[in-house]
């Protein structure tokens, strides 16, 4: 098994086996698949981000005008009703307006959303200006209610914008990591394994060739020795027999002289 005394580093290469080749082919497939999916997500997020940016730009523009109008109406009310600010600021109050925060899922990212909520509470300041200027105060109130509604919408857009921004950064980082680090590394390993397997095959082939060659050599040598024995036997006037080098030559001749030989 592949083991090292030191912790594995990026430069440690896996053993170049056919099994590992399959393993890493699988890893590459997974990485490329994941990369494609993340890229799609990044593109979707970017499109949404663009929408939010546009919406914010538009809303902030109108908000500036609406607020200016609201402040102007407040001043008008002061002219008409005198200093009612004090009365508004003091006295008990229960919020008539609240915001509920919900979570919206956009392109796989959870975005915060604010919704305006009417609690139904009634405040003292709502019965102001009974003596003159009441209409102007009511008009001012209406203007501020509109501004408030738009501000709550803007708050939603803004938080979504910021959250999307963060999500985009994270996704892009992962996409880049896959593209520039993970996949090239896996491809590098696959190349290495492929090269090593080729090399092993070549070595095997070479070894095979060498074994074959030495076998041939041996056969040739055997043949040569056989021919020499045959020649020697003929020179000595003894009928040559086909024999192998391993046989005992003398034992053959002994049996020829013995009584057991049958003709």
Partner 1 sequence: MSDGKLVAIIGDSDTVTGFLLAGCGHRTAENTNFLVVEPDTPATKVEECFTSLTSRTDIGIILINQHVANTIRHVLSRYNEVVPTVLEIPSKDHPYDPEKDYIMQRVNMYLGGGQD
Binding string, 156-195, against partner 1, x = CB under 8 A? --xx-xxx-x------------------------------
Q: Does 35 bind partner 1 (CB under 8 A)?
A: no
Q: Does 44 bind partner 1 (CB under 8 A)?
A: no
Structure tokens at 178: 């896959």
| Cα 232 from Cα 241, distance rounded (Å) | 11
Count of residues interacting with partner 1 (CB under 8 A): 54
Q: Which helix (H) or strand (E) holds 192?
A: helix 183-235
Q: Which stretch binds partner 1 (CB under 8 A): 27-35, 49-57, 209-217, 225-233?
A: 49-57
Among 13, 85, 241, 252, binds partner 1 (CB under 8 A): 85
| Cα 21 from Cα 192, distance rounded (Å) | 10
Minimum distance, C-beta of residue 47 to partner 1, in the bound complex (Å)? 12
Which residues lie across from 54 on neighbouring strands?
none
Which residues lie across from 103 on neighbouring strands?
112
Q: Which stretch binds partner 1 (CB under 8 A): 12-20, 26-34, 152-160, 246-254?
A: 152-160
Minimum distance, C-beta of residue 34 to partner 1, in the bound complex (Å)? 22
Minimum distance, C-beta of residue 79 to partner 1, in the bound complex (Å)? 13
Interactions with partner 1, residue window 94-133 (CB under 8 A): 94-101, 112, 114, 117, 119, 121, 123, 125
Contact of 136 with 82, CB cutoff 8 Å: no
Structure tokens at 118: 């009417």
Rg (the chain; Cα; Å)? 48
Among 92, 105, 127, 246, binds partner 1 (CB under 8 A): 92
Q: Does 53 bind partner 1 (CB under 8 A)?
A: yes
Structure tokens at 151: 């501000």
Contact of 88 with 128, CB cutoff 8 Å: yes
Interactions with partner 1, residue window 10-29 (CB under 8 A): none
| Cα 223 from Cα 16, distance rounded (Å) | 43
How crowded is residue 13: how many other Cβ atoms within 10 Å of its Cβ? 13
Cα dihedral 189, 194, 198, 204, rounded to 10, equals 70
Q: Which helix (H) or strand (E) holds 112?
A: strand 109-118
Task: Report the Cα 213 to chain-centroid distance in Å.
Answer: 53
User: Which residue do the tokens 């009584």 mark?
Assistant: 259
Among 30, 37, 47, 57, binds partner 1 (CB under 8 A): 57
Minimum distance, C-beta of residue 70 to partner 1, in the bound complex (Å)? 6
Which residues lie across from 106 on neighbouring strands?
109
Q: Which stretch binds partner 1 (CB under 8 A): 25-33, 52-60, 199-207, 223-231?
A: 52-60
Interface with partner 1 (CB under 8 A): 49-50, 53-54, 56-57, 60, 63-64, 67-68, 70-72, 74-75, 85, 88-89, 92-101, 112, 114, 117, 119, 121, 123, 125, 137, 140-141, 143-145, 147-148, 151-152, 154-155, 158-159, 161-163, 165
């Amino acid at each position: 098994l592949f083991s090292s005394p030191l912790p594995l580093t990026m430069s440690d290469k896996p053993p170049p086996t056919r099994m590992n080749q399959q393993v890493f082919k699988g890893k590459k497939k997974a990485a490329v698949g994941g990369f494609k999916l993340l890229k799609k997500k990044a593109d979707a997020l970017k499109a949404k981000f663009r929408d939010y940016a546009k919406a914010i730009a538009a809303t902030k523009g109108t908000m500036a005008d609406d607020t200016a109008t609201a402040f102007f109406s407040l001043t008008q009310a002061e002219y008409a009703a005198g200093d009612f600010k004090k009365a508004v600021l003091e006295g008990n109050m229960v919020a008539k307006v609240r915001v509920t925060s919900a979570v919206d899922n956009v392109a796989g990212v959870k975005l915060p959303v604010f919704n305006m909520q009417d609690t139904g509470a009634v405040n003292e300041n709502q019965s102001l200006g009974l003596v003159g200027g009441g209409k102007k105060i009511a008009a001012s109130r209406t203007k501020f209610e509109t501004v408030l509604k738009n501000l709550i919408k803007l708050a939603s857009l803004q938080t979504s914008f910021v959250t999307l921004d963060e999500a985009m950064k994270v996704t892009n980082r992962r996409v880049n990591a896959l593209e520039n680090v993970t996949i090239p590394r896996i491809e590098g390993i696959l190349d290495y394994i492929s090269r090593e397997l080729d090399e092993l095959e070549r070595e095997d082939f070479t070894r095979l060739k060498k074994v074959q060659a030495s076998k041939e050599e041996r056969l040739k040598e055997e043949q040569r020795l056989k021919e020499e024995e045959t020649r020697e036997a003929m020179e000595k006037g003894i009928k040559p027999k086909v024999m192998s080098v391993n046989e005992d030559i003398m034992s053959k001749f002994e049996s020829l002289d013995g009584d057991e030989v049958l003709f």
